[in-house]
Amino acid sequence: MDFSKPTTPQPLSTIFAVDDDDVTCAMLKKLGQSLNLPVLTYASAESFLNDFRNQPGCLVADIHLGGMSGLDLQQELLKRGATLPIIMITAKAQVPMAVRAMHNRAVDFLEKPFDIAVLGQRIRQAIELDQTLRAKAAQTADAVQRLSRLTPREREIMQFVVKGMSNKQMAAQLQLSEKTIEVHRGNVMRKTAAESVAELVRLSMSAPAPEKTS
């Protein structure tokens, strides 16, 4: 089993466009066609939030919108834990706005009228970033699920294994027989479905460290 590769196909990425300017929305739809990507347009941040279900892709949002602003939309997505890359656009660029947008993890800030080729390049980069983030999140979730099958003793043995310790060294460290270590080690490999020590190392590195209990 190659843990580094996704086991399920990824959904098609979508360009989400939030702008109350019909001309910009029409331009983004044409750009999406040239990129072979679907485009969903929204005239307000509220309508986008009502529809968005953390689908893969990227968001192109105007800062100046009726109702919730693009910056407020960005903040709301952060509160919800969404990692969707955001490209902020505006016809009235101001330095504080750009700073706030970038501080809140916008991947770019473009002033209208922008070069369509540049926007297309930024969208491709944003979607590549989104795919990378989602693949990493899926890898972490899989590692957490697989390692959750281990008992505390088995997790301890796993940590020794990934450090390169031999059964004899582990037995001496834990004051157990080598046979017992061998059984625990076999359980670790079986429960995690790791086919090699190298894969076990990748699992250990992918999962967050368990919280220490006082």
* Range name among 10-14, 35-39, 45-49, 56-60 with the lowest pLDDT average: 10-14
Assess whether pLDDT exceeds 90 at residue 45: yes
pLDDT of 110 reads 86
pTM of the model: 0.76
Q: Residue 160 above 80 pLDDT?
A: yes
Per cent of the chain over pLDDT 90 is: 68
CB 44 within 8 A of CB 18: yes
- Residue type at 195 in one-letter notation: E
Residue ranges with strand state E in the chain: 14-18, 39-42, 57-62, 86-90, 108-111
In percent, the amount of the chain with pLDDT more than 70 equals 86
Residue 166 to residue 115: CA distance in whole angstroms: 60
Domain positions in the chain:
14-139, 148-206
Q: Is pLDDT of 2 > 60?
A: no
For residue 9, the model assigns a pLDDT of 44
Query: Looking at residue 6, what is its pLDDT?
Result: 40
What is the average per-residue pLDDT within 29-58?
Answer: 94
pLDDT of residue 90: 85
Q: Does the domain at residues 148-206 carry the CATH identifier 2.60.200.20?
A: no
What is the per-residue pLDDT for 58?
A: 95
CB 134 within 8 A of CB 142: no
- pLDDT tens sequence across 95-124: 566 666 666 677 888 888 888 999 999 999
CATH of 14-139, one of 1.10.1200.10, 3.40.50.620, 3.20.10.10, 3.40.50.2300: 3.40.50.2300
What average pLDDT does the segment 173-184 reach? 94
- CA 170 – CA 129 distance, rounded (Å): 41
Q: Over the range 119-135, which residues count as b (16 or more CB within 10 Å of their CB) and which as e? A: beebbeebbeebbeebe
